[in-house]
Structure 1
Amino acid sequence: MSPFTLRALPWSIAMAFPALSFVASPVMAVDGPSPSITLSPVVVVETKPVDPLAGTTLLGGSGLARKRAATSDTAGLLGDVPGLSLFGAGGVSSLPTLHGLADDRLRIKVDGMDLISACANHMNPPLSYIDPSNVGSIEVFGGITPVSAGGDSIGGAIVVHSAAPEFAQAGQGTLVKGQVGTFYRSNGNGRGTNLSLLVAGENVSLNFAASTAQSGNYEAAQAFKTGLVPTTTVSTPGPKEVGSSLFKSNNQSLGLAWHNENHLLELKLGSQDIPYQGFPNQRMDMTRNTSDQANLRYTGQYDWGQLQARVYNENTRHTMNFLENKLGSVTSLGMPMDTEGKNTGALVKADVNLSTRDALAVGAEYQRYRMSDWWDPVSATPGMMAPNKFWNIRDGQRDRADVFAEWDAKWSTQWQSQVGVRSASVTMDAGKVQGYNAMAGMMGYGDPANPTSVPGAFNALDHKKTDNNLDLSALLRYTPDTQSSFVGGFSRKSRSPNLYERFAWSTNNNMVMNMINWMGDANGYVGNLNLKPETANTLSATADWHDAARAQWGLQVTAYTTYVQDYIDAVACAAVGKVCPVRTDNFVNLSFSNQSARLSGVDISGYRTLSDADAAGSYKLTGQISYLKGKNGDTDAGLYNTMPLNAKLALVQTTGRWTNTVEAQFVDAKTEVSKIRNEQQTAGYGLLNLRSSFEWKVVRLDLGVDNVLDRFYTSPLGGAYVGQSPKTWGIPVPGPGRSIYAAISARF
């Protein structure tokens, strides 16, 4: 698909305005759990805590602008949030992990939509559906997450907003403005463009945004594939190339908004096409991902408070196979895999001013999700992958209905509290399945109608499951003076299993089991119908010290501990009564089971202005350090993909129109690993990055060098390297070597 065609939308605006990306300043309140219930403008600031009561970090403004130049992955914009790291995945599909909890365990919303990854390998996570150039602001709830921020999760919440609609001032006439930008990154030959246009009157606003980004395989700092001798392949990566790390992504959106006095009605239509995206830590690659979204919201201000309503629909079609680095033999037929997901949701929320002291937020939320996952046969001749269509999940259903209430009280100028409760019902079901063939024996899957076969045994069971979950949150904030505040709280949060955790059924061979893996460890997995919902109990406390103006210095310390009951972790197949193939390649076949987990840690962040503006400019020192300890309570082993001790230190100089940054990043060796998964240890490392930006009138220029010293390292959360054929255990995914980048944008 051309990046300049707005697919599946009834308008032909894209023909007139190729690839657009405008970021407008917010003018009305957006969805979000804020104690304020007015339509006052959203304040967009650089990365800093802005609401200690809710533990919120808000990213926006020039802080986001600098990060966009270095990444095409929206998750990559979150790199400076204390306690947040990224699971390695594709170039636009990293998975955020917050205090050791990631992916489905976090509540991630994009423009108010609860998006679901429709893929057995979670290649299309929620943040992959919005390009960094179209992000207006991001809220990260890293402490105790209010119940109004969303349910069906046991960790924090990440709420992404595109630019809010902008309208012309009274008497201004028609407002026309936009922005055009482009970037280049040397490592992987990455490049892309974005362009946007806004046309608005006093009551009606129309904006169109689109972007395209692509990159080849990136290179590590040195050769790393020692011992890998590929067979005849279509394309063998070079000795420093990280195979299957290439990508191309196209995103477009159209927004129409109507505003009258205290009422706002907005319709957003979005379209995504990813022609390909490689995954160095997955056995499969994305060979297509298309998504169409429709998102309608209403916000109104009344004498009693504020009313918000939203309804959305999102359809995803996702296909996987092997890209050239993984294809193996030139005669390989590959393994085509298809997924279709249909996601419909609705939200109604009222923020009611009860008194000058009290505010009440009440709401209801509904989500209807349908998903099928099937793999077409590779021939008409009966065999291991033929002649039938393989049904991995057939007619999968996951429906959730929630109600919630949240009470905010300002007892005095020093004391403030927030208490919330959310009740949720999650109903799941799936249809009957079948293998590639109905034959018995090593090459066969068995008759799906025979309860003694693997698919037949699954089909004979009752698949319908209903979970009734209860979430609670309580926070208390004490502000003794203008230079300090303290907040502590407790939360109980629940998450029901996803469709793959419950309904992935096949244990017939290693190949099929390998396809069920969103952990990036290259192991094989099978689901478990008997899984219970996870329940997390969290205690968190934050101390915040700063000067009265929050301009000269600041220090914030957050300590937390979480106990997760019925934590869904990996176990040997036999532990849940399943018979899986024996492996001899050091990878393992596993299932899911309810166990327990404990996670504890501390985040420390701060800043200090070293000098105010003079001939040499102003200087500011920023830093953060995070420590996390995660243990499986049943086995006392480490939890998978938890980040070791890590820190960042940056010196920022501002002189005239220039902002220059020297940043050092330090990561300790990873020694606490998940033994059941054969997770690999990684060595500690340090990286040096340089960034510079220049703004002049309507033009912005960003320059930078990542990994200046070209240091070789392997990411603790990068997973197992299976980016090319043959796939060998024991090699973690290497991080990128030195990359020089430049980005320029102009407003008009």
Structure 2
Amino acid sequence: MNTQSHPLHASNLALAVALAISASAVSAAEPPANIEEIIIEGQRHTSSSHLQSINESDVRKLSAATSDTASLLSMLAGVSVNQTGAVSSLPMIRGLSDDRLRIKVDGMDMIAACPNHMNPPLSYMAPSDVGQMTVFAGITPVSVGGDSIGGTVISESKAPTFSDVATFEGEAGGFSRSNNSATGMNVRLTHTSENLFASYSGSYSQGDNYTAAKNFKTIAMTGRPGHTLPLDEVGSTAYETQNHNVRLAYKTGADVFDVQVGYQNMPSQLYPNQRMDLLDNKQTRVNLNWQREMGWGQLQSRLYHEQVNHGMDFGPDRQFWYGTNAMGGAACDPIRFHGDPAGTCAGGMPMFSDSNNTGLSLTAEIDLPARGMVRLGADLQQFRLDDYWTASGGGMGPGTFENINNGKRDRAALFAEHELNVADNWLVMYGARVERVMRDADDVRGYSTAMNAPGMQVMEANAFNQASRKNTDTNLDLTLLTRYELSNQIDLELGIAQKVRSANLYEAFPWSSWMMAASMNNLVGDGNGYVGNLALNPEKAHTLSGSLNWRSADTRHEFSVNPYITRVDDYIDAVAVNAMWRPGQFNVLKYQNQQAELRGVDLTLASQLANNATGNWTLAGNLSFIDAENTDTGAGLYNIVPMQGRMTLSQELGGWDNSLEWVFAGKKDDVSGVRNEMGTDSYSLFNLRVSHSWESVRLDIGVENLLDEFYFLPAGGTYVAQGMTMSINGIPFGIGVPGMGRSLYAGVNYSF
């Protein structure tokens, strides 16, 4: 672990602080700032370097190349994704991911209901449904933050529109990709009138396992007799999913009523970095929104409910039959349990998670003439979870293993926020948010109540049941952000924030250290097993973030430097659960509060190179550096990519929109020691994209990983995709998950 400070990080932070301080002393008689606004969830937010957005046009360029909505965010500075399943990547913002971020989908705070977080919020919105995605990567306003210590991601579908003349519009499209034989289709039908908006959107996507650019493993066996995988095939990466959404909106006077009903049916999504596969996920959601324009501003309320039924087991690339009667993974019959003198026979390991998530929010946006605005609001959320594993034979039975029984997590929050225009070129925003978070769970039991049940199930279940499980946290978020325009070409931002997050149910309540059971609880894809901790304190992060933004006088060129530092008290990391921990293997770990620090800088560039007979040529890119450390142990935090970025050369001419992308990452060698995390080498990839639009048809073709570069995903976790994955060390250790080799894609959309 290199604990030396990074001069680049320190100097940029000092520069931002010094310039912001000096800016406050400059006369306000500068030219007025052109302060832009962006509409997010129907509310106005001042544009800043801490806010980045992806619009529908950006999404269209990539929707033929990916079915993973979260992956769209990787084009933004300071944002990357932790690759998991094919459509369920987890966004990471400045080294913080998953539940450390607040992720809202059409205004709903969705919660993953899975011990491996296989169904994160963005997996419920297909790329073809995205109208706008907004990321607060630095200082997050309290009006859009809460119960998180990182940034906020807001994904919105195409907003309702109204027209004086009744119209009917539609769109249908499809795509195909070569590497994993993925195909998909989407359709959207819309009716608009003066007062009514009605739409239906649906999408379907499926793909097989993908292949890497070369062999990366030495074993072809899967644990299923007669089924092997080529040495360059990345097992357990196939998927199939479909999404449907119906939306009705009615406008009367100053009121808009908006109703959305959504449904997802995901028959399968296999996971190369988890020991289980998603073999069924059904979600039903209802989302009601009311918005009224008032003389003093705007009032908005939302009520939503989400129900998820999630199922996992061993997919086709993993051993399914276990026990003394299942020699070599062969099928056995009948099912026999631990202690049967005739031997044991187990068929798979079915696991289920059922959840109900209900939320209510109320927000008032009050205009202050010539002085900005005030936002006041309240949020309520009630989450219920049952996580249980039914009997399947061997040591898994004869009863049901209750991983989390009637888990409860309830939130109540109040916030107030003020955007103040101190002068035409000086904006200050500050706010406070108070949250009350309660979690609890009922008594549990293991597969068996017999004292000789494997893995000390009875003893650990009794200890959990006798412990105090109910916990209530009172969390306070504070933010202060100032933006000052020195001139028409230079503006500065400086922000400071305190953000607090309480532990989720899977960090607190999984109770068994039995290797087989613990290895099924894993939120990060490192191959280890995890045990919860009832005594976890909330994570409290203090962030200082700055920004220096420059643009040329003709606005053809822009550049920004965004340094930051975040210190986290009671960061939820991991420690060995007992003395059996060993290097070079998978282990059972326990969640534990420790201290952490993350520091880095994000650089962005946008330049118009030329605009002539050959087209409009632009160059845009970003580069991010980060150093993240557990300051208690001196080890790196998990899944941190020290340097990464991308550059895109684009050409627009007539209906053509073409680009060449360079995507790169530096070597990762500052790793999490307790997790036995593996390092990865640096790599460079090139992607070529060509698009043409006619009046009603758009065609997209391209090649991803143009040069067929082999690389391991630096945030892809450990390869545990095939073989005897029920046994914690029954599969090879030390193999990363490789990225996809060269893949050609084509997509077409027809609008009418």
The verdict on a shared fold, with TM-score over 0.5 as the criterion, is: yes
Separation of aligned partners in 2, 1:150 and 1:367 = 14
Q: Deviations over 1:614-640 (max 9, x none)?
A: 1x2221111211000000010111000
Q: Deviations over 1:473-519 (max 9, x none)?
A: 00011012222211100000000000011111011x21101000010
Which structure 2 residues correspond to residues 349-748 of structure 1 after superposition, within 5 A?
A: 349-379=363-393, 383-441=394-452, 443=454, 445-447=456-458, 453-507=459-513, 509-548=514-553, 550=555, 552-574=556-578, 586-614=585-613, 616-726=614-724, 727-748=731-752
Separation of aligned partners in 2, 1:195 and 1:299 = 28
Q: Contact 1:436–1:445 (CA<8 Å) still a contact in 2?
A: no
Q: Contact 1:234–1:330 (CA<8 Å) still a contact in 2?
A: no
Separation of aligned partners in 2, 1:194 and 1:624 = 31
Q: Specify which of 132, 145, 150 is matched with residue 150 of structure 1.
A: 145
Separation of aligned partners in 2, 1:446 and 1:629 = 40
Aligned residues between the structures: 687
Q: Specify which of 112, 126, 144 is matched with residue 131 of structure 1.
A: 126
Q: Specify which of 254, 264, 269 is matched with residue 256 of structure 2.
A: 264
Q: 1:232, CA displacement in angstroms?
A: 4.4
- Decide whether aligned partners of structure 1 residues 549 and 31 sit closer, same or farther in structure 2, where only a CA change above 3 A counts: farther
Separation of aligned partners in 2, 1:289 and 1:665 = 33
Separation of aligned partners in 2, 1:317 and 1:220 = 33
Separation of aligned partners in 2, 1:87 and 1:431 = 32
Separation of aligned partners in 1, 2:226 and 2:201 = 37
5+ residue gaps, structure 1: 1-27, 37-49, 448-452, 575-579
Instruction: Please state if 1:64 is matched with 2:63.
Output: no
Q: Contact 1:602–1:628 (CA<8 Å) still a contact in 2?
A: yes
Q: Contact 2:79–2:91 (CA<8 Å) still a contact in 1?
A: yes
Q: 2:59 aligns to what SS in structure 1?
A: helix
Which structure 2 residues correspond to residues 7-18 of structure 1 after superposition, within 5 A?
A: none
Which residue of the partner structure matches residue 118 of structure 1? 113
Q: Specify which of 168, 182, 185 is matched with residue 176 of structure 1.
A: 168
Q: Contact 1:693–1:703 (CA<8 Å) still a contact in 2?
A: yes
Q: 1:677 aligns to what SS in structure 2?
A: coil
Q: Contact 1:167–1:175 (CA<8 Å) still a contact in 2?
A: no
Q: 1:33, CA displacement in angstroms?
A: 6.1
Q: 1:583, CA displacement in angstroms?
A: 6.8
Q: 2:486 aligns to what SS in structure 1?
A: strand
Separation of aligned partners in 1, 2:647 and 2:601 = 17
Which residue of the partner structure matches residue 28 of structure 2? none
Q: 1:262, CA displacement in angstroms?
A: 2.5
Instruction: Please state if 1:222 is matched with 2:214.
Output: yes
- Decide whether aligned partners of structure 1 residues 373 and 744 sit closer, same or farther in structure 2, where only a CA change above 3 A counts: same
Q: Contact 1:234–1:327 (CA<8 Å) still a contact in 2?
A: no
Q: 1:548, CA displacement in angstroms?
A: 4.9
Moved more, 659-668 or 513-522: 659-668
Q: Contact 1:255–1:269 (CA<8 Å) still a contact in 2?
A: yes
Q: Contact 2:224–2:318 (CA<8 Å) still a contact in 1?
A: no
Q: Deviations over 1:547-587 (max 9, x none)?
A: 3564x11101100000000000011114xxxxx86679711
> TM-score, structure 1 length as denominator?
0.90
Which residue of the partner structure matches residue 202 of structure 1? 194
Q: Contact 1:648–1:666 (CA<8 Å) still a contact in 2?
A: yes
Separation of aligned partners in 2, 1:270 and 1:242 = 32
Separation of aligned partners in 2, 1:557 and 1:626 = 10
Q: 1:167, CA displacement in angstroms?
A: 1.6
Instruction: Please state if 1:87 is matched with 2:82.
Output: yes
Amino acid at match of 2:48: D
Amino acid at match of 1:95: L
Separation of aligned partners in 2, 1:339 and 1:549 = 56
Q: Deviations over 1:251-308 (max 9, x none)?
A: 0000010012332110000000000000000000001000000000011111111111
RMSD: 1.6
Amino acid at match of 1:713: Y
Instruction: Please state if 1:348 is matched with 2:362.
Output: yes
Separation of aligned partners in 2, 1:698 and 1:547 = 37
Q: Specify which of 96, 104, 107 is matched with residue 99 of structure 2.
A: 104
5+ residue gaps, structure 2: 1-37, 321-328, 332-345, 725-730
Q: Contact 2:224–2:319 (CA<8 Å) still a contact in 1?
A: no
Q: 1:35, CA displacement in angstroms?
A: 3.9
Which structure 2 residues correspond to residues 19-34 of structure 1 after superposition, within 5 A?
A: 30-31=40-41, 34=44
Which residue of the partner structure matches residue 212 of structure 1? 204
Q: 1:65 aligns to what SS in structure 2?
A: helix
